[in-house]
Amino acid sequence: MLAGLTGLAALCAIPGHAADAPADRPQVVFAISNSESMDGDLTGAIMTGSGMLPDNLSSLYASSSPQRYKVPDAFTPPLDPGQQGVAPYTVARQGVLYDNSASRLNIAKAGILSALHNYIDSVDFALATYKGTDTGAYDTWVYYLPSDAKGFVFTNDRLPGKRYVANPCYQYQAANASKLVAANCRSIALNDGANGPQLLDGSRYMQIGISSDDENVNDVLYHRPGIPGLIDNFGRIVPPTPYPPNYTIKDYNKNKVKLSYDRSVPVGYAFTVTPTNAGYIPYSPRALFVQRGFGYVVNAAPDTAATTVPMTSGLGAHPGTAQIDQALAPFAAALAPETNDANNSRTPEVKAMAVQAPLAGLVKGAGALFGKGPFSACPGRALILVTDGLPTEDLSGDYWPPLGSAAGQGYAMHAGFYGRAGDPAYGIVDEGSNAPSGTIAGQLDLASTNDQALIDTIEQIRQLRQAGVRTFVVGMGAGVDEKANPAAYAVLNAMAIAGGTAHEYPADSAAAFTGAVNAIAARIKECELPPAPLGSVYFPYDRYVILPMYRNNRAHILANARYMRAHPQVHAVLQGNCDARGSREYNLALGQKRAEVVMKALEKLGIAASRMEAVSFGKEHPRAEGSTRAAWAENRRTDVYYPDSAGSAAQPVPLN
């Protein structure tokens, strides 16, 4: 990068490679991290195939395998829209089951198809996914763990503060109960002295502590067909926990972490369980597995990606309808709903199937679809990385527990992000006062990070950036909500920073995902945004109330609101700052309040909160040096920074 140039201006100064002169059209690769967890809905429950069990398990439609769901806002089920806002999870056609649920994968497919239809007339696209061999569908089982060592409680009365699910054995002795469910429940009742046949049959609810539907678990049991629909595992767990001293991080790296139950009802089905790509392993005195639907299991390649659809070419400046339809056809096939073909014909649609998340390999393989760089910024090249979690497999094939997860804490995983305060509960190293010159707030500090899967992913994204390819990160699961999972949020934003796009696009709804990928495509088509308005919002000593006429605050806020309304694709980072007086902790809190009050002012002017991020630099980033009143006044401010724009960070100049 040439000295003195920043952002897109610098990218435009990079010459194209002689053998790979810039194409006439921008190029975009969609890279979908199609791990098993992408079959989960936006709350984590994996419902693929639900409501389509064999007749001898149909009683489970009232508990583990419901047939219908409430359709979330802005989502259209891919095959059967249902009626009155309720649709079937699964659709059967000519012996094939189709996933009709509001899974993350279906939401992503719909959003990507929307962007393709809107921009393929002027942008070339490709599609990459994890590389692995489809070996046919597995059956799936949701699993429940009790809240304590006493086991499950079956009841008709739900107490406040307790958690309940529908009892899968309710009325199993009735004449119309499905045969296999009745047989499995009878075995469980006879084995359980505390919950005999009468209580198990007559109780509507089962009290639990944890469900595999929980967002931080986001899992189901996968098994080939032919085992019971309900399986109770209990007894001694070997070893008692999956963490040190029983296992080391090297054991986790080599997929040697396994926990086994020694007893089961029905007999012969005591499982050995391994960590999910969410870093969860169900260790508990008891686990009840109840059948739900179908899914896929594939060990994806750690160091490359599958070219699901190669880069479109030959469309020219003004393609006709027939050309566009022909270009869209392979995307439509790949982005069709997931299926369970009874004949295992290996249908071509993208499936949520990878056991782990080798994001570094996905980025590396997807980047190869652009050819050899470096590339200029106009027409641009961009990777849109769609992920519902963090990298969990490095380029050499070693597994890593995701930062901030239960396993991440158990194995002492940690990472540092320049300028970000620490959070030991999530493995975030304190770097609030560490912001070396040339770094960006939120950038990953490799020296403070022991997660090789994350390091490899950041390095692959950085290499693409050096070649002139920007990486946009669209998060769908962990990382969408900073308060719920600050570690995942920090990781996805660090990936975006490495890719030159400054922040992730959090997609916590179907509308947010579709809006994000279309906004990104629009940015790439335009190549560059006009410069952002310059100017900071200033504050009196030790206060965070905006005084409209103080140092032209009102004009600055109105100018930024106009800019954001005119350019709906941009994202603003509101950076709160303080003068040098007071403790570091106090000023970090005050800076956050100053950033948030500007965010609220822009919200009142019609700017959506999802387009803004409030951060605090405390007293760590003074604009004016010294201990004078003038210097202090200059440093009590909130800067409005647009990472997407050709403009730079806010400067103290008047607006006209």
Q: Which CATH superfamily, name and number, covers 7-40+102-132+300-526? A: von Willebrand factor, type A domain (3.40.50.410)
Average pLDDT value for the chain: 89
Mean pLDDT over 214-234 rounds to 93
Tokens 């490495």 belong to: 498
Where along the chain do its domains lie? 7-40+102-132+300-526, 138-295, 536-641
Higher-pLDDT residue of 605 and 136 is 605
17 pLDDT tier (thresholds 50, 70, 90): very low
Q: Which CATH superfamily, name and number, covers 536-641? A: OmpA-like domain (3.30.1330.60)
Bridge partners, 574 (sequence order): 614, 640
Q: What pLDDT sits at residue 106? A: 98
Q: What percent of the chain shows pLDDT beyond 90?
A: 70
The pLDDT tens digits for 484-535 are 899 999 999 999 999 998 889 999 999 999 999 998 998 888 764 555 666 7
Bridge partners, 409 (sequence order): none
Q: Is the pLDDT of residue 390 over 50?
A: yes
Query: Which among 539, 536, 554 has a CA at the least distance from the CA of 641?
Result: 536
Q: What percent of the chain shows pLDDT beyond 70?
A: 92
Cβ neighbours for 219, distance < 8 A, ≥ 6 positions apart: 36, 37, 46, 143, 212, 276, 278, 280
The alpha carbons of the chain give a radius of gyration, in whole angstroms, of 27
Question: Identical fold at 7-40+102-132+300-526 and 536-641?
Answer: no
Query: Which among 222, 322, 197, 338 has a CA at the least distance from the CA of 272?
Result: 222
Please report, to the nearest 10 degrees, the dihedral formed by the alpha carbons of residues 302, 308, 311, 314 taken in order.
Answer: 160
Q: Is the pLDDT of residue 338 over 70?
A: yes
The pLDDT tens digits for 169-201 are 999 999 999 999 999 999 999 887 666 788 999
The pLDDT tens digits for 256-293 are 999 999 999 999 999 998 888 888 888 888 999 999 99
Pairing label, strands 259-265, 272-273: antiparallel
The pLDDT tens digits for 80-101 are 999 999 999 999 998 899 999 9
Neighbours of 313 (CB within 10 A): 12
From residue 461, give the alpha-carbon distance in Å to each of 358, 388, 514. 13, 17, 23
- Answer whether 495's CB lies under 8 Å from 385's CB: yes
CA distance linking residue 198 with residue 208, whole number of Å:
20
Q: What pLDDT sits at residue 637? A: 95
From residue 392, give the alpha-carbon distance in Å to each of 36, 361, 444, 610, 652. 13, 11, 16, 27, 43
pTM comes to 0.80
The pLDDT tens digits for 611-642 are 898 999 999 888 888 889 888 999 999 999 88
Q: What pLDDT sits at residue 372? A: 80
Q: What pLDDT sits at residue 343? A: 62
Q: What pLDDT sits at residue 195? A: 66
**266's tokens:** 């029905």
Q: Is the pLDDT of residue 647 over 60?
A: no
The pLDDT tens digits for 356-368 are 999 999 999 999 9
Q: What pLDDT sits at residue 211? A: 96
Q: What pLDDT sits at residue 68? A: 98
Q: Is the pLDDT of residue 61 over 80?
A: yes
Which run of H or E residues covers position 432? none
Task: Give the HSE-up count for residue 546: Cα atoms under 13 Å, Cβ half-sphere.
Answer: 22
Q: Is the pLDDT of residue 378 over 80?
A: no
- Answer whether 447's CB lies under 8 Å from 440's CB: no
Cβ neighbours for 193, distance < 8 A, ≥ 6 positions apart: none
The pLDDT tens digits for 534-551 are 678 999 999 999 998 888
The pLDDT tens digits for 102-115 are 999 999 999 999 99
